[in-house]
Structure 1
Amino acid sequence: MTTIQDAAVSRRRAKPRPGKIRPGKIRPAKTPPTKRVGRTVIQAFLLIVGLVWLTPAAGLFLSSLRTEEANASSGWWQALTAPGQLSFDNYTALLKDSGITQAFWNTVLISVPTTIAVVVIAALAGYAFAWLEFPGRDWIFLLVVAMLVVPVQIGLLPVAKLFGALGLFGSIPGVVLFHTAYGLPFAIFLLRNYFAEIPKEMLEAARMDGGGEWRIFSQLVLPLGRPAIASLAIFQFLWVWNDMLVALLFADNASQPLTVALQSQMRQFGSNIGVLAPGAFLSLIVPLIVFFAFQRHFVQGVMAGSVK
C-alpha cells in the first residue's frame, strides 16, 4: 500500500503543472535560412554605405596628418601603407595660429547661445500654441508657419541695415540674433506639433491636482518632449556651426567663425592643405561628437511620430 502511494506521489511530482513550463525545455525558434540570408545582405549593404559615408572624413583626417609635400605628391590612401609619414605637426601649428583658435571659440560662442535661445523660446511658444487659449492664436501660428517659406537671402540686406543702426553689425551678438530669429519658425512649428500630441487627459489631471501652467510645462511637457527637443537642438547646432553665409556678412575679422576663417585662409594661401585639412577636420569633428552624444534622443525624436 505504501509503495502504491509513493509511486502515485512520484508521478504527481514528475508531471508538470498546467500553465507552467519546465525550465530547460524551451527551445528558441529557428530562423528560416531565407531570413538569415536577407538579414546578412542588409547588414552588408549598411556596412558598405557606412564605409562610403565615412571615407571622405577618413581621407580628410589622414590628409591632415600628412605633410604638405606628401599630400601634393600622392593621395591620402598612401598613408595606409606608410603610416610613418603621419604626425600631429599640422595640428600643433594650427593650434598655435591665434586667428584659427579665435575663430574656433567664436564659432562656439555663436552656436551654443543660438541653440539654447532657439530651443528655450520655441519650447515656450510651442506649448502656448498647443495648449493655451488666447485671442488670435491660430492666426499667429499661421503667420509663424508662413515665415518658413521666406528665404534667408531676402532678409540679409534689410537686417544688415537694421543691425548697423543698432550697433550690432559686425559682432557676435548680431550673428546670434540673426540665427535665432531665422531658426525660430521651424523650431516653433516642430515643437508645437509634438506637444499637441500629448494626451489632453494628462494635462487636465495635472490641473486638477493643482498644477499651474509653468509647473505643467516644466515637469510634464518638457520631459515628454525631450526627444523632439534633442532633435531640434542637434539640427540647430549643426546649421549654425556649419553656416558661412550669415557669418560672412554679419561678422567682422574679430568675430568671424571657423568657416569664414578657413575660407579666408584658402583665399590668401590657395591650396594650403597643411592649414585647411586640420582646420576642416576640427570643424567636422565637433558636430560629429554632438550628434553621437545625442544619437539616442535623436532616434527617439525621429521615431516618435511613427509609432503610436
Structure 2
Amino acid sequence: MKPLRRFAVHLSALVFVVAWTLPSLGVLVTSLRDRDQVAVSGWWTALSSSSRMQVYRVPEDKGEPVDGRYIVTGSLPGNGEVLIAWGVSSLQPTYFAAGETANLTGGGTLRVEADGSFFLSGTESFARTHRQRIFYSVTAGPRLTMENYANVLFAAGVGRSFLNSAIVAVPATVIPALIAAFAAYALAWMRFPGRWLLRLIVVGLLVVPLQMSLIPLLAFYNSAGHAMGFDPKSYIGVWAAHTGFGMPLAIHLLQNRMAGVPREIVESARMDGAGDFHIFTRIVLPLTFPALVSFGIFQFMWVWNDLLVALVFLGPQDDTLVLTGRLINLMGTNGGDWAMLSASACVASAVPILVFLALQKRVESGLLGIALK
C-alpha cells in the first residue's frame, strides 16, 4: 500500500503543479506573440504555423497599357508568409488557389501567385472602376517578438510608476516587519497585564476584511491630516495603511516562532545579566530571522501587486500612480490587444518573482519552522 500511496501523492502534486503553471506559461507565451497571431490561434500553437485571413485593396492605378490591355501589378502585404488561397468576394474568400486566374465582372482578369504578387488585367483603364479587393489566406511560421514589452516599458509614465511602486513597497515591508518583531517578542517572552487580551485582538484582526476597514480608516486619516495641516494624499498614508493591515499576520507568525526558542537559552542569558533588548537582538531575532524574511517576502508581493490601497491613499495622479494603476490605464487604451496585456502582467509580476527566487531558501526554512511550531 505504501508505494501506491506514494504514487497517489506524487500524482496529486504533479496535477496541482501543472494546474498552477499552465496559466502562467500561457500568459508568458502570449506576451511574446504579436496581436495577429493571438487573434487567430491559441498560445499552445506558438511554435507551429498559423493561418489567417486578410483583405487588400488594389491602389488607385489606371494601369499600364500593354497590347491593348491595361495591366496593374503589385504584391500583397506580408512578412515571409505563404499564400494558401485567395478570392475576390467576401462570400468566397478562398475560392482560388495560388496561381489560378479569376475572371472579373467587366471583362478583367486577376491572378495571384503563391509569393503574394498579383497581376490585374483589363480592357479598360482601372481609374474608372472601383478599387479591386483581394481576399487571401496566408500561413506563417512561429514568430516571437519583444515588441509588446518595448511598448509597455517605454510607454509614457511607466518608469515613474515603477519607481512609485518601489517607494511604496519597500518601506511598507520593512516598517511592519520591524514593529511586528518587537511586538511578537513582547507577547512571547515578556509578562505584563493584558497580554492575553492583546493576543486575542491580534488573532481577531486576522479575519477583518481590508475592504471593510478601508473607508473608516481613510475618513479618520483625512480628518487627522487636515487637523494637523499636512496633505492626506502622501506616501506616509499608504505606508501606515499597509503597516496596519500587515501587522496582525506578522505578529501572529513571529510570536509563534519566537515562542519556540528554547527557554533554557533565554533563561541563561537573563542569568548572565542580559536585558530584554539584548536577548531580542542577539538571541531571539537571529533564530527567528527566516520567519521574518518569509513574512517580508509575502508582504512585499502583496504591496507590490496592490492597487486598491494605493489608489485610496495616493490617488490616480500621474506623479503618484503606482505600476499596477499605470498598467490598468494601458489596458484601458489597449483593451483588445491581449498580447500587450499579457506583457503588462509579466512586467508587473517580474519583481516579486525575482525577489522570491532570490530569497527562496530563507522562505522555505522560515515556513518550515512555523509549521513545526
TM > 0.5 between the two?
Answer: yes
Q: Is the 8 A contact 1:160 1:169 kept in 2?
A: no
Q: Which residue in 2 is equivalent to 1:15?
A: none
The alpha-carbon deviation at position 234 of structure 1 amounts to: 1.9
- Equivalent pairs: percent with the same residue? 39
Equivalent of 1:120 in 170, 178, 183 = 178
Please say if 1:190 is aligned against 2:248.
no
The alpha-carbon deviation at position 181 of structure 1 amounts to: 1.0
The alpha-carbon deviation at position 42 of structure 1 amounts to: 4.8
Please say if 1:52 is aligned against 2:19.
yes
Q: In the TM superposition, what are the counterparts of 1:245-284 in structure 2 within 5 Å?
A: 245-252=308-315, 253=317, 254-284=319-349
Aligned partner letter, 1:220: I
Alignment RMSD:
2.4
Aligned partner letter, 1:270: G
Q: Is the 8 A contact 2:294 2:363 kept in 1?
A: yes
The alpha-carbon deviation at position 38 of structure 1 amounts to: 6.2
Aligned partner letter, 1:76: W
Q: Is the 8 A contact 1:106 1:172 kept in 2?
A: no
In 1, Cα distance between equivalents of 2:369 and 2:239:
30
In 2, Cα distance between equivalents of 1:132 and 1:90:
55
Aligned partner letter, 2:167: L
Please list the CA deviations of residues 176-201 of structure 1 after superposition, one character each: whole Å capped at 9, or x if unmatched: 21111111112112211221121221
Please say if 1:145 is aligned against 2:203.
yes
Q: Which residue in 1 is equivalent to 2:148?
A: 90
Please say if 1:68 is aligned against 2:35.
yes
Structure 2-normalised TM-score?
0.67
Which consecutive residues of structure 2, in runs of 5 or more, have no partner in the other structure? 50-140
Q: Which residue in 1 is equivalent to 2:239?
A: 176
Any idea what SS the aligned residue of 1:80 has? coil
The alpha-carbon deviation at position 46 of structure 1 amounts to: 3.4
Q: Is the 8 A contact 1:94 1:279 kept in 2?
A: yes
Query: How many residue pairs end up in the alignment?
Result: 275
Aligned partner letter, 1:78: T
Please list the CA deviations of residues 36-89 of structure 1 after superposition, one character each: whole Å capped at 9, or x if unmatched: 676566545534432332111111111111112221222222212257411111
Q: Is the 8 A contact 2:161 2:323 kept in 1?
A: yes
Q: Which structure has more strand as a fraction of its residues?
A: 2
Aligned partner letter, 1:174: G
Q: Which residue in 2 is equivalent to 1:291?
A: 356
Please list the CA deviations of residues 264-284 of structure 1 after superposition, one character each: whole Å capped at 9, or x if unmatched: 222343233343221111112
Higher Cα Rg, which structure: 2
Any idea what SS the aligned residue of 1:243 has? coil
Q: Which residue in 1 is equivalent to 2:298?
A: 235
In 1, Cα distance between equivalents of 2:163 and 2:289:
28
Q: 1:183 to 1:72 in 2, by over 3 A?
A: same
In 2, Cα distance between equivalents of 1:306 and 1:259:
33
In 2, Cα distance between equivalents of 1:162 and 1:102:
29
In 1, Cα distance between equivalents of 2:7 and 2:256:
38
Q: 1:117 to 1:47 in 2, by over 3 A?
A: same
Q: Is the 8 A contact 1:95 1:101 kept in 2?
A: yes
Equivalent of 2:365 in 286, 300, 304 = 300
In 2, Cα distance between equivalents of 1:306 and 1:156:
31
Structure 1-normalised TM-score?
0.80
Q: Is the 8 A contact 1:64 1:278 kept in 2?
A: yes
Q: Which residue in 1 is equivalent to 2:267?
A: 204
**Higher normalized contact order (CA 8 Å, seq sep 6+, divided by chain length):** 1
Which consecutive residues of structure 1, in runs of 5 or more, have no partner in the other structure? 1-33
Q: Which residue in 2 is equivalent to 1:157?
A: 215
Q: Which structure has more helix as a fraction of its residues?
A: 1
